[in-house]
């Protein structure tokens, strides 16, 4: 009788998505080994890591970060990124939804072993922290003459 | 690094590329409704806010610089398009929406018509 009312997320997709999330939570964990420093699926912020021949790129999708709270350190090939995003609700307002993450985060990523800790750049723009870690120059194989 | 995580907020509709549902906070006060959305990676020129009748749609495209030859090692985010819609009610002035985008954080304000006053309804008990 009540059919489709717009009081909450009623559509079929949302219900399926919620069920999938609950199933994931119960059966979570890949069949395999998780990194010892890894975090739970869906943690904030989302992070993507890509590697090319001469560098490793890390993108941290964190909107509204407080730039003074950002800390990026590289120790050998362990990259630690931490920061804070605080949310202050407006005074005297009624709340309907609070989905955005409020608080601090710290992620530790194990990068490929040939990264160079002396050549790291980081920039924060449009809510994305982009860290570039250059890789050490490849030691080229030396051809040995047989004389 | 070999972990691969699936994002919680990925949605694929038939015939469309996967879209992300941005997290939002929604508040209401006497002036109107304030909506804040996380759209990391979306710059102003890639943000689209539309009102069609009573539907407010927020869309944004994520753009990050990926150098040639980059192979993914780990990805929490696996889509590049944000989209979310809401229905607005009559007393909200959709044509006076204001929007600001800073560091991937969108702040939308939808004002309420001034003349709408809440009328308290008496509840009979017993």
**Average pLDDT, rounded, for chain B:** 85
Can you give the pLDDT at residue A11?
A: 67
- CATH numbers and ranges of domains, chain B: 10-111 (2.60.40.790)
0.90 cut: is pTM over it?
A: no
Taking residue A96's Cβ as centre, other Cβ atoms within 10 Å add up to 12
B7, B33, B73: best mutation site toward chain A, by most A Cβ within 10 Å?
A: B73
**Domain range A12-87+102-135, CATH class:** mainly beta
Q: Which residues of B touch A45 (CB under 8 A)?
A: 40
Q: Which residues of A touch B68 (CB under 8 A)?
A: 52
Q: For B71, which of A50, A62, A99 is closest by C-beta distance?
A: A50
| B84 contacts: CB under 8 Å, gap ≥ 6 | B21, B22, B24, B37, B57, B58
Can you give the pLDDT at residue A35?
A: 79
Report CA dihedral (A33, A38, A44, A50) to the nearest 10 degrees.
-80
Query: What is the per-residue burial (b if ≥16 Cβ within 10 Å, else e) of B39-58?
Result: bbbbbeebbebeeeeeebeb
Q: pLDDT-derived band of residue B10, with 50, 70 and 90 as boundaries?
A: very low
How many beta-carbon pairs under 8 angstroms link A with B?
143
Average pLDDT rounded to a whole number, residues A8-26: 71
Task: Of B71, B54, B59, give the one whose Cα is nearest residue B110.
Answer: B54
- ipTM for the predicted complex comes to 0.80
Domain spans, chain A: 12-87+102-135
Chain A residue with minimum CA distance to B80 = A61
Q: For B77, which of A53, A61, A111 is closest by C-beta distance?
A: A61
Q: For residue range A61-109, what is the model confidence (pLDDT) as tens digits?
A: 999 998 899 999 999 899 999 999 999 888 888 999 999 999 999 999 9
Q: For residue range B45-57, what is the model confidence (pLDDT) as tens digits?
A: 999 999 998 899 9
- Residue found by looking up tokens 């922290």 in the block: A129
Report CA dihedral (B94, B95, B96, B97) to the nearest 10 degrees.
60
Joined together, the tokens standing for residue A11 give 């559509």
How close A144 comes to chain B (CA, Å)? Answer: 31
Q: In the predicted model, is pLDDT for residue B39 greater than 60?
A: yes
């Amino acid at each position: 009788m009540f059919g489709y009312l717009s009081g909450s997320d009623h559509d079929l997709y949302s219900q399926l998505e919620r069920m999938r999330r609950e199933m994931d939570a119960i059966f979570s964990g890949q069949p395999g080994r998780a990194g010892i420093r890894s975090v739970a699926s869906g943690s904030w912020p989302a992070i993507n890591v890509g590697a090319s021949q001469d560098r490793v790129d890390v993108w941290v999708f964190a909107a509204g970060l407080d730039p003074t709270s950002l800390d990026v350190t590289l120790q050998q090939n362990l990259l630690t990124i931490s920061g804070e995003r605080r949310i202050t609700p407006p005074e005297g307002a009624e709340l309907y939804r609070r989905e955005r993450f409020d608080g601090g985060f710290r992620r530790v990523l194990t990068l490929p072993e040939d990264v160079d800790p002396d050549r790291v750049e980081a920039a924060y723009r449009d809510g994305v922290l982009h860290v570039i870690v250059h890789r050490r120059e490849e030691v080229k194989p030396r051809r040995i003459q047989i004389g | 690094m070999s972990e691969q995580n699936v994002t919680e907020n990925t949605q694929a509709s038939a015939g469309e590329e996967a879209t992300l549902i941005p997290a939002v906070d929604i508040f209401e006060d006497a002036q109107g409704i304030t909506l804040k959305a996380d759209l990391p990676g979306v710059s102003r020129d890639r943000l689209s806010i539309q009102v069609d009748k009573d539907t407010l749609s927020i869309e944004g495209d994520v753009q990050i610089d990926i150098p040639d030859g980059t192979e993914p090692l780990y990805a929490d985010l696996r889509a590049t398009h944000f989209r979310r819609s809401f229905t607005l009610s009559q007393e909200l002035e959709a044509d006076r929406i204001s929007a600001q985008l800073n560091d991937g954080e969108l702040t939308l304000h939808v004002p309420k018509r001034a003349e709408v006053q809440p009328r308290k309804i008496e509840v009979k008990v017993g």
